[in-house]
Copies of this chain bind each other. A is one copy, B any other.
Amino acid sequence: MSQVANGELDVGAAKDQFKHLSFEDIGFAHIDHHRSLRKGFPEVIFGQGKSCEQITGILDIMKDREQIILVTRIDQDKADPILDKFADAEYFQDARLLRLQKSPPKITGVGTILIVSAGTSDIPVAREAALTASAMGNRVETIFDVGVAGIHRLFAHRKMMEEASVIVVAAGMEGALPSVVGGMVQAPVIAVPTSIGYGTSFNGMTALLGMLNSCSSNIAVVNIDNGFGAGYMASSINHVAAPR
């Protein structure tokens, strides 16, 4: 049963090894040029906590090699100088997302990703998920404002839900919608809690806890307000059977 691993150093493994090793160190960031090779998707820049100069610096280096670059969690005032500088850049204010896109992505995902929001106030997070999934090569549809307090609104869309290959559900307050959706479909559901609410909503913690304790089992959860992660994960799932 014992087996000594002396592993990846033989000649044949070198090429495979190589794709883990090429990057560029520009002092305040290590930029990864083989990431699309390795992960099937370009670097995404997490905008929060970075200065406009840092973001621009990274974009300058990346922009020639990548088809699509996303900058997430970027406010209008940081986005403006970037929009001025890069002709391909578009800014989506509600989703606080900036996109540089040479051409629309090819659809590579096998099915449709459905994005559902419980309330009107949850739409920004749902939009971030939708834009991310689109950029990663997926067909995306949306249904907004179908929370559990008026559950018949949800049921009117049952067919759409049953045909989706993955469903992302964004909900704040008590976060109950993913449980109900999960109970109605076979597809995997990515639940994304939002910080919508007040008092004991604890900025989304209550919704998160509700989703983690769902009595439906085809549900997994991402961080509060993490629309980007929900869209990314949904795309990963929608590419499970796609040719790599």
Of chain B, the residue at the smallest CB distance from A25 is B3
Q: Is the pair A183, B11 in contact by a Cβ cutoff of 8 Å?
A: no
Is A6 at the interface (CB under 8 A from chain B)?
A: yes
Per the 8 Å Cβ criterion, residues 199-219 of A in contact with B are 199-219
- For the complex, give the distance between the alpha carbons of A7 and B73 in Å: 33
Is A166 at the interface (CB under 8 A from chain B)?
A: yes
Partner of A236 from B9, B44, B186 at Cβ < 8 Å: B186
Q: Is the pair B155, A7 in contact by a Cβ cutoff of 8 Å?
A: yes
List the B side residues contacting A239 at CB < 8 Å.
186
Report the interface size for chain A: residues with CB under 8 A from the other chain.
122
Stoichiometry, as copies per complex, reads 8
Given contacts A221-B220, A224-B198, A2 and B17 within 8 Å (CB-CB)? no
Among the stretches A83-91, A99-107, A142-150, the one at the interface with B is A142-150
Given contacts A6-B21, A9-B14, A22-B6, A173 and B215 within 8 Å (CB-CB)? yes
Is A119 at the interface (CB under 8 A from chain B)?
A: yes
Q: Is the pair A5, B25 in contact by a Cβ cutoff of 8 Å?
A: yes
| A154 → chain B closest CB, angstroms | 9
Which of A50, A199, A221, A241 has the most chain B CB atoms inside 10 A of its CB? A199
For A23-37 the 0/1 string (1 means CB < 8 A from B) is 111111110100100
- For the complex, give the distance between the alpha carbons of A49 and B6 in Å: 29
- For the complex, give the distance between the alpha carbons of A199 and B227 in Å: 12
For A53-72 the 0/1 string (1 means CB < 8 A from B) is 01000000100000000000
List the B side residues contacting A220 at CB < 8 Å.
190, 220-222, 229-230, 233
List the B side residues contacting A218 at CB < 8 Å.
39, 232-233, 236
List the B side residues contacting A42 at CB < 8 Å.
none
Those 4 A-B pairs whose CB atoms lie nearest each other, nearest first: A12-B12, A199-B224, A49-B121, A241-B241
Taking Cβ atoms with an 8 Å cutoff, the residues of A that contact B are 1-14, 16-18, 20-30, 32, 35, 38-40, 44, 46, 48-50, 54, 61, 73, 110-111, 118-121, 123, 144-153, 155-158, 165-166, 173-176, 179-180, 182-184, 186-188, 190, 193, 195-226, 228-230, 232-233, 236-241, 244
